[in-house]
Chain A
Amino acid sequence: MTTEASRHPLASLPRLPSGAGSVGLLFVALLLFWLAVNFVKTPADFVEVFLIGITTGCVYALVALGYTLVYGILELINFAHGDVFMLGGMVSATLAVSWGLEAGQASLWPLVILILLISMAFCGLLNATIEFIAYRPLRNAPRLAPLITAIGMSFILQNIALAWKGPNYVTAPDVLPTGDVFSIGGVSYTWNKLIVVLITVPVLLALVWLVQRTRQGKAMRATAQDRDASAIMGINVNRTISFTFLIAGALAGSAGLIYALYVTTVRFDQGFQLGLIAFTSAVLGGIGNLPGAVLGAVLIGLVQAFNEGLGWHTPGSDWTQSIVFSILILILVFRPEGLLGEQTPEGG
């Protein structure tokens, strides 16, 4: 934080009162106490809800990573990202229905992987196209301009889905096995949940490898830190940004497939809602920070699951939406750099 302050000698901000930190600590302590009481009262439910939260969190993580990648490189909240994800889900659901996927069929997994690849390619290209059409021309405009076009883009994508599939839910076949992986003391963990985690983790590892170890990843990090200097150093900045959108879109595509198979219903307006939750996750973890996005997403998944699933003094699902957005607001106000620290060009 000292660097921040020194970078802006003019900052004459009303600082938050010093008590804010201790209030925050108290709040976290209360939260832990509440969790502990719930755990003692109904341990089996607690674990079960915990597992559900992790699974939901994994889906959020894939979407949140897309937000965080794009924000890291362009400082743009890509509102349309959630809708790209939703379109990925619809493409996956449509393919799964038209190819007649069935649980237990021999060719199930090759087909699923094929759909995954198609969905990733579709969303990746879509996202890169959106960048080219809607964001690139505005790169020198005031900062809010691309944010506004992103909202416009989001609405357009929703209406494309609406025109394509109508206002009702698109249902994908139930193909993931729902048998128990294990069942101990009333807690059962089903295969479909494990599969979600099993798809998410390799994708994450591949992404981290890509950003940390490859030449293209290096270019991405360089562009994120200083676009002008990167250009001088011979990095094709436009191509790098396109590539980032491609990767982010592919992640959304994979999330779309997982969503279609695990949740099995997609509607045209679900992407925006889930996108906001994913964005909250990214902010919670520290926007621009890849592990942070995953951490934030899992935390948000857990918060939602605990709120809806636990019995002792929970606000219940009436308030889920408010709780998620309250977290977003509190984090932005009190700790804008997130839990693990922000890695934007200035902050990184």
Chain B
Amino acid sequence: MSESPPEQPRHVETRGAAPEVGYRNRARAAWHSQSQERRWAIVIGAELLLAILLGLPDTSLGIGVALVAALFWLPKVTPIPWRLVAEAAILAIAGAIAGAGKAPWSLPFVLAIAFAAWWIPTRYRRWAIPLLVILAVVFYPFYLQRLFEMPLFGPFPDQSTAVVMLVFIMMAVGLNIVVGYAGLLDLGYVAFYAMGAYTAAWFASLQFAEHTWHFGAVGVSPTLAGFHVSIWLLLILAALLTAMTGVLIGLPTLRLRGDYLAIVTLGFGEILPQVARNGDNFFGTGFNLTNGPNGITPIDSPGWGNRISDATGGFLPSNYLQCCDRTLLGHQVSSADVFFWTALVLLGITVFCSLRLRDSRLGRAWVAIREDETAAAAMGVPLMRTKTWAYATGAFFGGIAGAYYGSFKSATFPGDFFFNISVFILCMVILGGMGNVWGVIVGAAFLSYLDREGLANTGSWINSNINIGGWHPNIDVPLYASGIYGAIILIVMLFRPEGLIPSRRRAMEFHEGVHDEPLYDSTGS
């Protein structure tokens, strides 16, 4: 037994030399011991190989891979003349591709804009680049039709898909508060999503037909039975109710150490859908809360009502579903567009709150707890209250997202809420980078696109383009969606635990360790 490598003590901070235990660290050490030229040569070789391999069955994919690789190398080309030449070369090639009719002219155009953005002086970049991104997203429906098709992943998502993506991004940003900021693993986030969706369903449908109460609802006849409350109020109500649920779940459970907390949240995530499923007749009392497996349909759609709509000159549509009879900049505005822009506004609010919270006193307390509970408590951070706030805030945004999604798809079913969705949202947070809002947005956008359209497109690409000696694969790629997410989780956690776009602080924690020995292990009654 003497040949055993020295074990690192577990919970001791190991700033400085990384422990070279396990294949992962050994591989990392071996990689970094190579000279930079050799490393680069290997990377370029791999990229070229990949581009050629993928280019053989589908030329445009090969070009796409090479293009993306070239873009990643571009920042390393520092001398300005070289840089200009490089950018010109890429643009010329993109133009040639477009000229050959292989891609719309939007490809070189988008590249040109991106390159131009690089040349913005550093002092303006801080606001110019976010501004460009926001403009690009806001005007997305206007140029969507002209966009090029991504190789392998297929066309850019249309507006309805984009709405679903935005909803999932909101949920991911909300979960990021719990997991990324406060370091509490929540495996039952789907419960908050369900809570939000059902709140919208209860107060904006015929579910409780024995009562008739209208408050600011649009698009339904005023005599229609059931509660019909304006969706805008319901978004707030759903958020508050969900936050309260979060507090109720949190109060007894947040005392638990991290892994137990994860399990308890998982338990709630399994119980709530079953309650929804059985809620058409609680224990034979005949009280119909959730309409059971039939779900609640239809849910009213959002709208501003005629008065506000007229007052704003039709800028705010009176009813989203019957929207819109107008053309903006040569684009026929559809109801999906309005849903898209509204989701964008909601996401904007979520991101803004999330960022402000992060920098607030509360946010710093979250980080302190995440890094070292004992020290945080010693410094006077109230543990329970701080954790409960994290929980409630995360739930709050989950509730808004759920209510909006319910109203968008005009239905809610108990079958919509299952464990895989909790893990799916967690996967977005992990992939993007726990704790970094921008990273989480990118991760969530990518994964939710993959789930809605990307995987199906990739699958059909694989099945139609790969041909090895007459053998065609016939793989139902979307069937393995959860496995693909599992693999993403595993690979990211092993090789880049801080995610694609890490928060610097979180990255340090992952690489240097934290003192996360919980403060009150199993301190029962």
Q: Which residues of A contact B (CB under 8 A)?
A: 1, 4-5, 7-8, 10-16, 18, 20-21, 75-77, 132, 134, 136-145, 147-149, 151-156, 158-160, 162-163, 167, 227-228, 231, 234-239, 272, 276, 279, 283, 315, 318-319, 321-322, 325-326, 328-329, 332-337, 342, 346-347
Given contacts A137-B23, A147-B259, contact A329 B267 (CB under 8 A): yes
Which residues does chain B contribute within 8 Å of A143, judged by CB atoms? 258-259, 516
Top 6 closest pairs, chain A to chain B, by CB: A159-B483, A155-B486, A152-B489, A137-B24, A152-B490, A325-B267
Question: Which among A12, A138, A163 is the interface contact of B480 at CB below 8 angstroms?
Answer: A163
Q: List 5 A-B contacts (CB under 8 A).
A: A139-B22, A140-B19, A152-B488, A325-B267, A325-B268
Count B interface residues, CB 8 Å.
Answer: 74
Chain B: minimal CB distance from A158 (Å): 7
In this assembly, does B310 line the interface, its C-beta being within 8 Å of a C-beta of chain A?
Answer: no
- CA–CA, A318 and B8, complex, Å: 49
Whether A332 contacts B253 by the Cβ 8 Å rule is yes
In this assembly, does B264 line the interface, its C-beta being within 8 Å of a C-beta of chain A?
Answer: yes
- CA–CA, A195 and B21, complex, Å: 45
- CA–CA, A159 and B263, complex, Å: 22
Given contacts A137-B494, A139-B10, contact A347 B266 (CB under 8 A): no
- CA–CA, A157 and B15, complex, Å: 35
Binds A, one of B29-37, B54-62, B270-278, B316-324: B270-278
Question: Which among B25, B378, B419, B509 is the interface contact of A142 at CB below 8 angstroms?
Answer: B509
- CA–CA, A337 and B523, complex, Å: 9
Chain B: minimal CB distance from A227 (Å): 6
Which residues does chain A contribute within 8 Å of B384, judged by CB atoms? 13-14
Given contacts A16-B525, A143-B516, A159-B480, contact A328 B263 (CB under 8 A): yes
Counting residue pairs across A and B whose Cβ atoms lie within 8 Å, the total is 212
Which residues does chain A contribute within 8 Å of B483, judged by CB atoms? 155-156, 158-160, 162-163
Chain A: minimal CB distance from B295 (Å): 17
B150-186 at interface with A (beta carbon < 8 Å): 183, 185
- CA–CA, A335 and B255, complex, Å: 12
Q: Which of A155, A272, A319 has the most B CB atoms < 10 Å from its CB?
A: A155
- CA–CA, A235 and B266, complex, Å: 36
In this assembly, does B6 line the interface, its C-beta being within 8 Å of a C-beta of chain A?
Answer: yes
Question: Which among B255, B277, B489 is the interface contact of A151 at CB below 8 angstroms?
Answer: B489
Whether B264 contacts A333 by the Cβ 8 Å rule is yes
Q: In the complex, what residue of chain A is closest to B512 when comparing beta carbons?
A: A140
Whether B485 contacts A336 by the Cβ 8 Å rule is no
Chain B: minimal CB distance from A268 (Å): 10
Whether A136 contacts B264 by the Cβ 8 Å rule is no
In this assembly, does B402 line the interface, its C-beta being within 8 Å of a C-beta of chain A?
Answer: no
Which residues does chain A contribute within 8 Å of B514, judged by CB atoms? 142
Q: In the complex, what residue of chain B is closest to A15 when comparing beta carbons?
A: B525
Question: Which among A153, A227, A319, A346 is the interface contact of B7 at CB below 8 angstroms?
Answer: A227
- CA–CA, A35 and B24, complex, Å: 54
Whether A318 contacts B525 by the Cβ 8 Å rule is no
In this assembly, does B288 line the interface, its C-beta being within 8 Å of a C-beta of chain A?
Answer: no
Digitize B303-345: 1 where CB-to-A-CB distance is under 8 Å, 0 elsewhere. Answer: 0000000000000000000000000000000000000000000
Given contacts A10-B519, A11-B520, contact A234 B2 (CB under 8 A): yes
Which residues does chain A contribute within 8 Å of B392, judged by CB atoms? none
Chain B: minimal CB distance from A83 (Å): 10
In this assembly, does B285 line the interface, its C-beta being within 8 Å of a C-beta of chain A?
Answer: no
Question: Which among B1, B268, B510 is the interface contact of A234 at CB below 8 angstroms?
Answer: B1
Question: Which among A20, A154, A159, A325 is the interface contact of B525 at CB below 8 angstroms?
Answer: A20
Whether B523 contacts A8 by the Cβ 8 Å rule is yes
- CA–CA, A20 and B479, complex, Å: 47
Q: Which of A7, A142, A227, A228 has the most B CB atoms < 10 Å from its CB?
A: A142
- CA–CA, A69 and B259, complex, Å: 16
Whether B183 contacts A4 by the Cβ 8 Å rule is no
Chain A: minimal CB distance from B250 (Å): 11
Which residues does chain A contribute within 8 Å of B8, judged by CB atoms? 139-140
Which residues does chain A contribute within 8 Å of B489, judged by CB atoms? 148-149, 151-152, 155
- CA–CA, A139 and B482, complex, Å: 25
Q: Which of A75, A152, A236, A322 has the most B CB atoms < 10 Å from its CB?
A: A152
Which residues does chain A contribute within 8 Å of B7, judged by CB atoms? 227-228, 231, 237-238
Which residues does chain B contribute within 8 Å of A325, judged by CB atoms? 267-268, 270-271
Chain A: minimal CB distance from B133 (Å): 29
Question: Which among B270, B278, B482, B522 is the interface contact of A336 at CB below 8 angstroms?
Answer: B522
